[in-house]
A and B are shown apart, each in its own frame.
With several copies, the nearest count.
Chain A
Amino acid sequence: MDENVTTAVLEEWVRTFATLIEQNRDYLTELDAAIGDADHGSNMDRGMKAAVAALDDAALTTAGALFTKVGMTLVSTVGGASGPLFGTFFLRMGASFGDSDTASPRDFAAALRAGLGGVVARGKAEPGDKTMYDALAPAVDALDLALEAQSQLATGLKAARDAAATGRDATTPMLARKGRASYLGERSVGHQDPGATTVALLLEAATESSF
């Protein structure tokens, strides 16, 4: 578990995430139509397409530069709630890596946790508010736990993916207390949170990449 993660693999992760978002665009929007304003899929797709285009244009050699670019692009192109939230997530990951040339699995996990911290700082979500937090926090915890247990990064990411999926499913019975869905009150119960669904896709993308 000490092998460093290359920037190329990290970039592969981002690109795979973009592909999954594109494939799930309408599904995400449908989820948002039920308890929000029917734009989460198109928001994320617009942003990730822009991020991929930015990566096509620039040859970024460090993890810090890579995630900063992705984060800035999301912030600049998405708008709504998910722009600042996913943007800040990647920006904080970038900041966590700094301009270091190498990225160990622990560095990666730390960056992920920094990203989570950014989401919380920005959106003030608490556990059970029925947001992306409810998928992301369990995923970050699961990865930390796996690495502490000396697992390979790839193994840890599988655990994180499963935790995110479980967290995503757990949002369904929750009553929304943040974001647009909170206006629905009781009527938000029984619907899966779109942002949490996106987070599950992010972790799934990680397991599909060559970490």
Chain B
Amino acid sequence: MKKLINDPNDVVAEALLGIEAAHPDLQVDHHNKIIYRSDTPKRGKVGIISGGGSGHEPLHGGFVGLGMLDAACAGEVFTSPVPDQMLAATKLVDGGAGVLHVVKNYTGDVMNFEMSAELASAETGARVLSVVTDDDVAVQDSTWTAGRRGVGVTVLLEKIAGAAAEQGRDLDQVAQIARTVNANGRSMGVALTSCTVPAAGKPTFDLGEDEMELGVGIHGEPGRQRLPLAPAKEIASLLVEPILTDLPFSSGDAVIAFVNGLGGTPLIELYVMYNEVNKILAGRGVRVARSLVGSYITSLDMAGSSITLLKVDDELLSLWDAPVRTPALRWGI
């Protein structure tokens, strides 16, 4: 295992120290492993928190700041945080207008957030709503599974819901916008290599030198198929087609196109992928209104990429364009 770390058990705590030192405008509660805005709670503003296992940086801590999250809870690597963390974060960001929990759809995350919401309403009376993202089309969404996993849409949702909250909309409105984003977004990813969990010390799965895992999850969950490594053009099509059919997206739709790196893939490859995605969309008459290219929801050191398409109208677009000031996304301010 080749990583720039000390003891595998200290990775999360030390990364939080690094984030705190690098971003003086954010606060860190090390006991509860919470990254939060210095100016939270803002009276009358809906608070938005998220969280999840660590190893997906910049998600979620890198999205804390004006126009996005008020706080993020960091779990152990690939392990959902515990309700105490979300409860503490909820209290921290509650400015009287209620709190939205943004939860990626994994059994553990959903249950821990659920418990924290129960505790919050019992302990504080704060109104808490939750929105669960489940955009990964690689997983069959049926009563026979835990449902789709929450992946790339989470990033776009945190930005858009964050803007709505910043503009003063109320909790129901912010939650409604968040649900709209989740309903209109779809993702799928591919791994060229496995990630290596620090505590495990070896790759989570074995992948041959000429293989790729199509439909992989951000914790190294198995995908739809193991296939021979293919050119970017083919990979883009293997990812985009299932996304397009699932919603479905149709000619004339405007989208935010998001090409994400999984942690071990450099930007030059993401731009090569973006070019392929863009060509496919152009061929279908889908209009790319905005784009995002970079590593925003990662799986430790996994080489690979995921693609997210979000169907947008003018309202979602204007929320996307609204100012944001976080370590990982910043514009307009």
Direct A–B contact in complex, judged by CB atoms less than 8 Å apart: yes
Q: Is the CB–CB distance between A178 and B79 below 8 Å?
A: no
Q: Does residue B333 face the partner (Cβ distance < 8 Å to A)?
A: no
User: Is the CB of B305 closer than 8 A to any CB of chain A?
Assistant: no
B304 at interface by CB-CB < 8 Å: no
Shortest beta-carbon distance, B243 to chain A, in Å? 18
Q: Of residues B140, B144, B220, which shows the largest number of chain A Cβ atoms within 10 Å of its Cβ? A: B144
Q: Chain A residue with minimal CB distance to B80?
A: A79
Cβ-closest chain B residue relative to A184: B222
Q: Report the Cα distance A81→B112, complex, angstroms.
A: 8
**Contact of B111 with A78 in the complex, beta carbons under 8 Å:** no
Which residues of A (51-79) have their CB < 8 Å from a CB of B? 75-79
Beyond A75-B115, A123-B107, is A177–B83 a contact (Cβ under 8 Å)? Answer: no
What is the predominant secondary structure among interface residues of chain B facing chain A?
Answer: loop
A37 is contacted by which of B75, B144, B221 (Cβ under 8 Å)?
B221
Question: Which secondary structure dominates where chain A touches chain B?
Answer: helix
In the complex, what residues of B have CB within 8 A of residue A122's CB? 111, 114
Interface string of A20-45 (1 = CB under 8 A from B): 00000000000000000111001100
Chain B residue nearest to A126 (CB atoms) is B143
Q: A122-B111, A183-B139 are in contact. Are A43 and B79 (CB under 8 A)?
A: yes
| CB neighbors of B among A79-125 (8 A) | 79-85, 87-88, 122-123
Distance of A6 Cα from B75 Cα, bound (Å) = 37
Give Cα A205 to B6, complex, Å.
36
Is the Cβ of A75 less than 8 Å from the Cβ of B83? yes
Contacts of B112 in A (CB 8 A): 79-80, 83-84
Q: In the assembled complex, which residues on chain B have CB atoms less than 8 Å from the CB atom of A39?
A: 78-79, 199
Question: Which residues of chain B are within 8 angstroms of A80 by Cβ–Cβ distance?
Answer: 79-80, 108, 112
Compute how far the CA of A99 lies from the CA of B221 in the bound complex, rounded to whole angstroms.
44
Interface size for B (C-beta < 8 A) is: 33
How far does the Cβ of B210 sit from chain A's closest Cβ, in whole Å? 21
Q: Which residue of B lies closest to A76 (CB)?
A: B84
Q: Which residue of B lies closest to A175 (CB)?
A: B144
Q: Would you call B197 and A38 a contact (CB within 8 A)?
A: yes
Q: Which residues of the other chain, B, contact A43 by a CB distance below 8 angstroms?
A: 79
Determine whether A185 belongs to the interface, using a CB cutoff of 8 Å to chain B: yes
Residues of A near B197 (CB, < 8 A) are 37-38
Residue of A nearest to B136 (CB): A183
Query: With A42-B199, A180-B146 in contact, do A79 and B115 touch (Cβ < 8 Å)?
Result: no
Query: Counting CB contacts under 8 A, is A182 at the interface?
Result: yes
Complex-state Cα separation, A178 to B114, whole angstroms: 17
Please encode chain A, from 166 to 183, with 1 for each CB lying within 8 Å of some chain B CB and 0 for all others: 000000000101111011
The residues in B between 220 and 274 inclusive whose CB is less than 8 angstroms from any CB of A are 220-222
Chain B: minimal CB distance from A203 (Å): 23
- 4 further A-B pairs in the complex, CB-CB below 8 A; given A38-B197, A175-B144: A37-B197, A37-B219, A84-B108, A85-B111
Task: Return the 7 tightest CB-CB contacts between A and B, nearest first.
Answer: A84-B111, A80-B108, A182-B145, A81-B108, A81-B107, A79-B79, A179-B107
Chain B residues packing against A (C-beta within 8 Å): 53, 75-76, 78-84, 106-108, 111-112, 114-115, 139-140, 143-146, 149, 197, 199-200, 204, 217, 219-222
What are 9 A-B pairs at a CB distance below 8 A?
A: A42-B199, A43-B79, A79-B75, A79-B81, A79-B108, A80-B108, A180-B106, A183-B217, A183-B221
